[in-house]
Amino acid sequence: MATDEDRKQLERLQELGWYHSIELPDGRVIQGHQTLDQLRTRMCQFPLPADLTGKRVLDVGAWDGWFSFEMERRGARVMALDSARNTRFLEARELLGSKVEYHIADICRISPRDIGYFDIVLFLGVLYHVKHPILALENVCALATEMACVESFVTDADPNAAPKMEFYERTELRGQLDNWVGPNTACLLSFCRAAGFARVDLQSVLLGNRAHVMCYRKWSEIHGSDPAPRVTCVENGANRDHTFSTMADDNIVFYFTSVRDDLTRNNVFAQIGPYGARPIHVTRTGGEGWQAVCKLSPGLAPGWHYVMLRTATSSLSPPLRIAVGLSESEKRLPTGCPARDICIALVTDGTTWERSRVRVGESSSVSLWVAGLPEGALVADLRVRLNGSDLPATFLSAPNSEGTRQVNALLPPGLNPGTASISLVLREEETAQVEVELFRGCIPPTVASPLPS
């Protein structure tokens, strides 16, 4: 039975003006603008498990904290993030005996370097309050390793309409100064895809203007039986080299061949590090050749990451390694297992056969003559590693009279001239590095013999 002291405490709390209703351990309820039933209904729009033990959850725009405390009740370790200190959240946390971590920061100005990574990110009722909605969603994507739950005001309930968004300079939306944008449902879904999520699923639109979207970082584990696409080159879509950074708005371009002739961005699936990447654009380049352009996955830590590609009916292509956010010196450090019997006898330009000098630019390539490759080696097992990043081998010859074999690879055309290190990788074994000179120049009218003497 509630005492007079309990009633006075509840009256004092009610006077603080709560948005979320909060149920206290003794059964008393602090009544907020949103009832417990309304809050539970919002949460039920997302297919989250009842048991979140072992998961780390971020609640962006936590406000009074009901969703943060609900995630904690399900067993998760929770951080509540808000742009300003909320005394009601602190009161509720103390009354509930909660261990939810509280952090003050702007979602548009925070990254995993500041607060780490989270299995699940809640982004509920926040998007229309920010001036930079795609930037906010990109940061949500970078912070989430599995999924994000996105809820937003929308101007319609039609996911198939043309994407469009209203902008509110002053108080046009419900008289509030901090309501900036009103996307329609199609625009909200497009925003989530453009932010870098692999899969974006509309769950519901309640009351005609509250959309609920599940955003996933990874593809479902479904692989077909068709041969894997054969990747022939990977490059940065802006500068056409092998330099990638999550601090820039980088795209990664895959050039590949496939047995399918009906490829679109809906049936090509890229894998960049641990995350899926939905193509922005897929186009045929001629014959069985294709090009797929994907946003570099947000949230990648600086270091080496493998990239792969598959279609809806194929297995994954062999992995290729790219450097993300590394200096040139860091990229040249060998990281593969040492190859015991394999060595590079000679490196030449792939067109002119000039030794130890390789032309860079359009249609440039490199040729290696390699000793010690096992008889059963396949071109799909080989990568030419240039300054630490992988170029897929495009050709492997039979052994010559000296037992060496030619391995060719295409070069991204935007590479800068200078000294470069090159090695060959067979599965996970890497040869010793050999230095070559990269230079810009024209192809002479005559070329030398392609084989070493």
Average pLDDT over every residue of 300-312: 96
Residue 453 confidence class, pLDDT cut points 50, 70, 90: very low
Q: Which of 219, 288, 237, 222 is nearest to 259 (CA)?
A: 288
Crossing angle of helices 185-194/133-143, nearest 10°? 50
Crossing angle of helices 66-73/87-96, nearest 10°? 30
Kindly tell me if the per-residue pLDDT of 127 is higher than 90: yes
Per-residue pLDDT reduced to its tens digit, 262-299: 999 999 999 999 999 999 999 999 999 999 999 999 99
Q: Which amino acid is at 299?
A: G
In the β-sheet with 289-295, what is the strand arrangement from edge to edge?
230-236, 251-257, 289-295, 279-286
Per-residue pLDDT reduced to its tens digit, 5-56: 756 666 676 766 899 999 999 999 999 999 999 999 999 999 999 999 999 9
CA–CA dist 155, 165 (Å, integer):
8
Q: Which of 365, 372, 345, 374 is nearest to 452 (CA)?
A: 345
449 or 158: whose pLDDT is higher? 158
Answer for the pair 317, 229: CB distance below 8 angstroms, yes or no. Answer: yes
H or E stretch at 91? helix 87-96
Q: Give CA separation, 242 vs 230, 249, 297, 409, in Å.
A: 19, 14, 15, 14
Average pLDDT over every residue of 386-402: 95
Average pLDDT over every residue of 61-83: 98
DSSP letters of 233-258?
Answer: EEEETTTSSS-B-TTTT-EEEEEEE-
**Tokens for 81?**
């993030």
Domains along the chain?
A: 4-216 (3.40.50.150), 230-326 (2.60.40.10), 334-439 (2.60.40.10)
Torsion of CA 404, 407, 413, 418, to 10 degrees: -30
Per-residue pLDDT reduced to its tens digit, 167-192: 999 887 777 778 899 999 999 999 99
Average pLDDT over every residue of 410-431: 94
Mean pLDDT of all residues belonging to the chain: 93
Answer for the pair 143, 149: CB distance below 8 angstroms, yes or no. Answer: no
Handedness of CA 42, 44, 45, 47 (dihedral sign): positive
Provide the pLDDT for residue 449: 54
CA–CA dist 230, 257 (Å, integer):
5
CA–CA dist 277, 393 (Å, integer):
23
